[in-house]
């Protein structure tokens, strides 16, 4: 999951709750009419068939087991790596075994940033190792490292007010307390550029997380065009708090930072799997997740879970011989973590046929128990989705949250005016594990993945099968 | 906190709850009599004075601030290290600044195990770094490491049933799912010796913890007298689960384990601080915690918190000029983590005056919000403590749990027949951080430390001041 995806999450939740009043019901009823509402309700039986197959039938536990086999076999799958390409080949083979053969891959150039040695040693006021993870695309230090004093800022406002001469030659530590990801991750994504503009020699950021067991969280950052590319890394909440306490006591803090990495480009692939529609094969309902991951952890949560429920959708429909009128397309995006690179390439390559995308879905904020969808689109589009979601009250997945930019990769498509949704799920602990060594199968649950796969598949089927297109 | 301390915890909780019925009340009333119960109740005012001073008065926040200064200055304080001795000197100086000068230290020989390079690389079925922490006193591997296949056991029963030829030459992984610390830590403390007896070349243990963000947990282990001293380490829950999944699939798992360490002995000190009693200075009510820590993390929770509430007790009483009839003695144990070494030395050195120990208390299971005490002693002893605890209903710290071996260091004293108690507190997450790099100030809370210090001090004062000794 990248930084675009959580923007306005809390805000939109309250907006949604306000809109889910009877007035909203009336509005939807007027927009949709009795007939369409009745038609959507008539999918109750097929929805039950899908839920039963996944929650109690032959598919029970399969999403978790397949995800575990995949994650255990490949581990981390960073952009530009060979292991990412092998994992793509594996997913194609796994899909072919289901006798689904409408599979294409589309090549694109992706960043290939490879982490080398990373070490921070506090030299003053006492010697201590500081846990870190370099941020994506960070520059290296000289081999002997950078040794300098630390200056601490809670926010950009404090940095802006500081005298250049007080920052020059120093290591900047940003220490923003986590509120929401969208509010705090700016210190990770732009911190180095802003610190360099004041003459800092390196920048560190408090990991963008609400909880830690001394866990550093990596993530993307980009240098501004004019920026002096200073090395930049995330440190743990614990070490950030330690340094801040020392700083507040007036102690002189000196660190040595050693970091090395390489950056070039490689070719990777988006993977596109179609379960062709019976009536309008050209029309697409897309489900998706990204197959690349950070180089730390195992990429089980971000985004192995989203990848596998999106893999499961055409597979489950094929096994149940449920072929909707429109095509259900499953996309495995590549190189999401270094800037939605696969999604941008797809959008560009498919721009002239974008009118065929009926609805686009993505799961990249965890596959904990599903709660509903975070939906972008017109009022009528949202009303249709809201009616579909009513079918999922039995699994507590009927909540519709309005957000004009849901998801991460799909935000690239949605901003061109196409309606879509990301998975709303019980992901309160998502940022405990996000972009850390702790992103492993231990975060995933067989029961929650079953619920997610069943929900994802049934929603995609119904939207792909109903008599009306999702309006724009 | 060492392994002795949590035994029978859950069991004794249920026993206690059963005993806290009216019948228990009747029994205590008969044992104590109206006069003693009235006397204990009369301490309400002095209890309030202490609570007000710590929770709202000049001492508010002091325990946290002093602990933070100490932990930030020294960090980890492993047995036998120079930093441990400097931290002892610091605590003595800090106490002298309070004009408390009845301070002695008692020297003893302690183990000095120093961790060197540690690295585990999975070679088959794929290359992956495995996070680890060597266990205390572990032997080293040869410089090139030990490369061998893994065999996985969930428990000793499975190991015992395995053929020697199936274990010989292999790396044993114990993968016991955490239930309670006392049930599962046997795989850490004795695993190497048992695996070596079957011919294993190294042993690993799933970290003794219920939750992880890829966090390995170290801890003590001891080789049996006859044991072949094979290298031994803890790995994370995540990697243990990964290896078990691979093993269950029939995959061949090969690891290379490199570990180095040194072991010798050094001299350390127990620290003994007395606030002399006004009437019976020879009689002791002891509060205590250990000052040493593991070499990972900062020893803030284990046992910085217990150390500082025990430091605070005489300091708060001195500041309030509340001098009880008996002496309140604060002990900072050394070398707890490598086998209660300081406590054993104290018990031996003070055996001929042990009749003077009226009651002994220890905090070594966290200093989260206090809930009461875990008490060893006769029925009458427990009844007196139960009456004292009733005074703490306003801060929800009135629970008495019966346990014949509470605490870690003090269990050495208690087993000689002396009554005592350990702090019962809201420590459900204690084992998330225990013996990891995550044992830092971030686990501690100023408010909870205030509650703990106030409770600890007031209980010690009342027991040191009442007209009767705690009976044996």
pLDDT in tens, B335-379: 999 999 999 999 999 999 999 999 999 999 999 999 999 999 999
Residue of B nearest to A444 (CA): B238
Active-site residue, from B149, B238, B282, B336? B336
Q: Does B177 touch chain A (CB under 8 A)?
A: no
**Are residues B72 and B135 located together in one domain of the fold?**
no
Q: Which two tokens stand for residue B23?
A: 């019948």
Question: In this complex, is the C-beta atom of A66 within 8 Å of any C-beta atom belonging to chain B?
Answer: no
CB pairs under 8 A between A and B: 82
Mean pLDDT of B99-103: 98
Q: Helices (DSSP H) in A56-175: which residue ranges?
A: 62-74, 82-96, 156-161, 164-167
Of the candidates B405, B300, B417, B250, the one whose C-alpha atom is nearest the C-alpha of residue B347 is B417
Nearest chain B alpha carbon to A213:
B438
Q: Pick the closest to residue B303 from B2, B1, B67, B63 (CA basis).
A: B1
| B319 found inside a domain | yes
Query: From the candidates A85, A118, A336, A362, which is the catalytic residue?
Result: A336
pLDDT at B283 over 70: yes
Work out the mean pLDDT of chain B and round it to a whole number: 95
CA distances from B365 to A374, A384, B455 (A): 43, 55, 15
**Which runs of consecutive H residues, i.e. helices, occur in B350-417?**
379-389, 411-414
Closest to A238 (Cβ–Cβ): which among B69, B245, B438?
B438
Below-70 pLDDT ranges, chain A: 1-23
Domain boundary among A264, A285, A310: A264
Q: Residue B303: is the preceding peptide bond cis (ω within 30°)?
A: yes
A461 and A320 share a domain?
yes
* Segment 113-132 of chain B within 8 Å of chain A by CB: 125-126, 128, 131
Q: Is A335:A341 a contact under the CB 8 Å cutoff?
A: yes
Contact B214 A440 (CB under 8 A): yes
The pLDDT confidence band at residue B25, using thresholds 50, 70 and 90, is confident
CA–CA dist A302, A423 (Å, integer): 13
Find the helix or strand (DSSP H, E) in which B158 lies.
helix B156-161
Is position A472 within any domain? no
Residue A168 sits in the same domain as residue A282: no
Both A218 and A355 in one domain: the answer is: no
A218 and chain B in contact, CB less than 8 A: no
Q: Which residue of A has its CA nearest to B128?
A: A75
User: Using the beta-carbon criterion (under 8 Å), do B75 and A126 form an inter-chain contact?
Assistant: yes
Q: B294 and B155 in one domain?
A: no
Beta strands B326-333; B202-206: pairing state: unpaired
Whether B331 and B425 map to the same domain: the answer is yes
Domain that residue B142 falls in: 115-261
Active-site residue flag, B336:
yes
Are B441 and A215 inside 8 Å of each other by CB? no
Distance CA B99, CA B319 (A): 9
Instruction: Place B130 in a pLDDT band, splitting at 50, 70 and 90.
Output: very high
Q: Is residue B109 part of a domain?
A: no
Q: Which of B226, B261, B296 is the last residue of a domain?
A: B261
DSSP secondary structure letter of residue A142: P
**Smallest Cβ distance to A245: which of B68, B74, B238?**
B68
CB B213 to CB A238 under 8 A? no
Element (H or E) spanning A103, and its range?
strand A103-124
Number of domains in chain A: 2
Residues A309 and A437 grouped into a single domain: yes
Chain A interface includes B212 (CB < 8 A):
yes
Torsion B342-B348-B349-B354 (CA) sign: positive
Compute the average pLDDT of residues B447-469: 98
Q: What CATH number is associated with residue B56?
A: 3.40.630.10
Chain A: closest CA distance from residue B432 (Å): 8
Q: What is the DSSP letter of B178?
A: P
Give yes or no: residues A238 and A354 share one domain. no
Torsion of CA B358, B364, B368, B371, to 10 degrees: -40
Q: Nearest Cα to A136, choosing from A259, A236, A218?
A: A218
The answer to whether position A108 is within a domain reads no
* Residues of B with Cβ-Cβ distance to A214 under 8 angstroms: 215, 297, 436-438, 440
> Which residues, in sequence order, are CB contacts of B21 under 8 Å at separation 6+?
none
Cβ distance of A438 and B213 shorter than 8 Å: yes
Q: Is B372 left (phi over 0), alpha (psi -120 to 50) or beta?
A: left
The C-alpha of B382 sits at a distance from chain A's nearest C-alpha, in angstroms, of: 38
User: CB within 8 A of A220, min separation 6: which ones?
Assistant: A2, A3, A135, A136, A137, A188, A189, A337, A338, A339
Q: Are residues B291 and B425 in the same domain?
A: yes
**B11, part of any domain:** yes
What are phi and psi for residue A234, nearest 5 degrees? -100, 140
Instruction: Determine whether the interchain pair A442/B128 forms a contact, defined as Cβ–Cβ distance below 8 Å.
Output: no
Residue B322 is predicted with a pLDDT of: 98
- For residue B73, which residues of chain A lie inside 8 Å, CB to CB? 125-126
Classify residue B57: in a domain, yes or no: yes
Residue contact B442–A238, C-beta within 8 A: yes
pLDDT class of B52 with cuts at 50, 70, 90: very high
CB contact under 8 A, A72 and B246: yes
Probe site for chain A from B123, B175, B214, B296 (most A CB atoms < 10 A): B214
CATH for B190: 3.50.30.30
| A26: its two tokens | 């009336």
Count of Cβ atoms closer than 10 Å to residue B13 Cβ: 16
Contact A111, A265 (CB under 8 A): yes
The answer to whether residues A198 and A281 belong to one domain is: no
- Tell me the chain B residues in contact with residue A75 when contact means C-beta distances shorter than 8 Å: 126, 128
Q: Are residues A255 and A362 in the same domain?
A: no
Domain assignment of residue A470, yes or no: no
Of A215, A237, A242, which has the smallest distance from its Cβ to B72's Cβ?
A242
Searching chain B, which residue's CA lies closest to the CA of residue A72? Answer: B242
Whole-number Å distance between alpha carbons of A215 and B361: 34
**Does residue B294 contact residue B78 with C-beta atoms inside 8 Å?**
yes
| Stretch among A4-8, A372-376, B263-267, B458-462 having the lowest mean pLDDT | A4-8
For residue B110, tell me if it sits in a domain: no
Q: How far is CA B232 from CA B137, B192, B322, in A?
A: 9, 6, 50
Q: Render pLDDT for B188-231 as a digit per residue (tens, 0 to 9).
A: 999 999 999 999 999 999 999 999 999 999 999 999 999 999 99
Q: Are both A217 and A185 inside the same structural domain? A: yes
A247 vs B contacts (CB less than 8 Å) = none
Tens of pLDDT along A46-62? 999 999 999 999 999 99
For residue B432, the chain A residues in CB contact (below 8 A) are 213
Final residue of a structural domain among A239, A264, A289: A264
């Amino acid at each position: 999951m990248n930084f675009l995806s959580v923007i306005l999450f809390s805000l939109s939740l309250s907006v949604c709750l306000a809109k889910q009043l009877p007035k909203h019901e009336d509005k939807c009823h007027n927009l949709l009419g009795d007939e369409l509402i009745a038609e959507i309700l008539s999918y109750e039986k097929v929805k039950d068939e899908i839920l039963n197959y996944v929650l109690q039938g032959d598919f029970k536990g399969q999403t978790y087991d397949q995800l575990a086999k995949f994650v255990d076999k490949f581990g981390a799958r960073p952009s530009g790596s060979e292991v990412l390409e092998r994992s793509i080949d594996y997913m194609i083979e796994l899909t072919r075994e289901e006798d689904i053969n409408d599979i294409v891959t589309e090549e694109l150039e992706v960043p290939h940033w490879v982490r080398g040695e990373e070490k921070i040693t506090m030299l003053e006021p006492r010697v201590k190792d500081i846990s870190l993870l370099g941020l994506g695309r960070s520059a290296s230090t000289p081999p002997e490292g950078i040794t300098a004093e630390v200056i601490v800022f809670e926010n950009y406002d404090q940095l802006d007010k500081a005298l250049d001469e007080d920052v020059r030659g120093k290591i900047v530590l940003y220490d923003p307390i986590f509120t929401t990801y969208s509010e705090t991750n700016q210190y990770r994504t732009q911190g180095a550029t802003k610190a360099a503009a004041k003459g800092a020699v390196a920048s560190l950021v408090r990991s963008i997380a609400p909880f830690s067991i001394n866990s550093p969280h990596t993530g993307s950052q980009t240098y501004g065009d004019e920026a002096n590319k200073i090395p930049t890394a995330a440190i743990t909440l614990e070490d950030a708090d330690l340094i801040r306490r020392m700083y507040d006591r007036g102690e002189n803090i000196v660190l040595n930072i050693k970091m090395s990495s390489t950056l070039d480009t490689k070719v990777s692939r988006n993977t596109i799997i179609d379960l062709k529609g019976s009536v309008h094969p050209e029309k697409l309902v897309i489900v998706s997740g990204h197959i690349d991951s950070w180089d730390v952890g195992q990429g089980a949560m971000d985004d192995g879970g989203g990848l596998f429920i999106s893999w499961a959708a055409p597979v489950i429909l094929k096994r149940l011989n449920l072929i909707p009128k429109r095509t259900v397309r499953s996309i495995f995006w590549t190189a999401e973590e270094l800037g939605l690179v696969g999604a941008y390439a797809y959008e560009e390559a498919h721009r002239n046929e974008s009118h065929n995308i009926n609805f686009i879905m993505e799961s990249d904020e965890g596959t904990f128990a599903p709660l509903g969808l975070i939906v972008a689109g017109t009022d009528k589009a949202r009303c249709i989705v809201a009616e579909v979601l009513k079918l999922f009250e039995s699994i507590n997945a009927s909540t519709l949250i309005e957000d004009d930019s849901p998801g991460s990769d799909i935000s690239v498509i949605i901003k061109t005016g196409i309606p879509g949704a990301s998975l709303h799920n019980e992901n309160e602990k998502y940022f405990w594990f996000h972009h850390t060594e702790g992103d492993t199968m231990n975060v995933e649950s067989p029961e929650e993945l079953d619920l997610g796969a069943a929900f994802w598949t049934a929603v995609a089927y119904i939207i792909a099968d109903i008599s009306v297109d999702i309006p724009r």
